Amino acid sequence: MATVTASPNSEPASSASGKRVDTKFEVVVIPVANVDRSKEFYTKLGWRLDADFPYDNGFRVVQFTPPGSGCSIQFGTKITPAAPGSAQGLYLIVSDVEAARRDLVARGIDVSEVFHPGTPGAQFQIDGSGRIGGPAPEHATYNSFATFRDPDGNGWLLQEVTTRLPGRGLSNLDVATLTELLQEAEKRHGEYEPTAPKHHWSGWYAAYIVARQDGKTPEEAAKDGKIHIEGAR
């Protein structure tokens, strides 16, 4: 039987079923010098402690998850050769950067003032160059930031996202975001319902919302809702 070897630049082969395999990005490892000090800091942030597993050979892994996040962080001993503090530009997406900053300040965290970039990439400059104080004009989505660092200097970036670009998916499902998504689903379902077979709205809504979370456009999500109700034709 002949075999085919893909070149490094070739497109990935489709699976036999043609169905996409979910590959969920769930954990980022950050390098720290003192595990207990870092554990105390991330507890102070109000993040959920998921695990703290020490082993006889000196290996230890600690995991925290920020509120509302689908991705977690891990740190520990014998977990990464990276230099402590070398993780930079770690994004934390929030719907209201000023409220998020106030919460951190109340927890005793040293956080920068809210700013927006005056030059492209200014949010990543450790010396603060290129930043303009205050949120972006009219709170333009993706453009308002605040920064803070953990005890080792690993750098975190609060970014305000109020409306996502098409196809980017949905995360940080707080009440306001979920309300907006349900209203969007209601509108799309209303357009589908007059010609739809008898069905329960919850099934269509579920397929629609999952599709939007996966990054599909409203039009694509509506098609997924229809396929869920009627099957592929």
| Tens digits of residue pLDDT in 206-226 | 999 888 877 778 898 899 999
Residue 185, exposed/middle/buried by CB under 10 A (0-12, 13-18, 19+)? Answer: buried
How far CA 218 is from CA of 142, 178, 227, in Å, comes to 20, 15, 14
pLDDT at 4: 43
Contact indicator for 147, 109 with CB cutoff of 8 Å: no
Both tokens of residue 45?
């942030």
- Average confidence score pLDDT of the chain: 88
User: In this prediction, what percent of the chain has a pLDDT beyond 70?
Assistant: 87
pLDDT digits (tens, 9 = 90+) for 46-81: 999 999 999 999 999 999 999 888 899 999 999 999
Residue 16, exposed/middle/buried by CB under 10 A (0-12, 13-18, 19+)? Answer: exposed
168-178 mean pLDDT:
65
Instruction: Considering only residues 18 and 177, tell me which one the structure prediction assigns the higher pLDDT.
Output: 177
Contact indicator for 81, 35 with CB cutoff of 8 Å: no
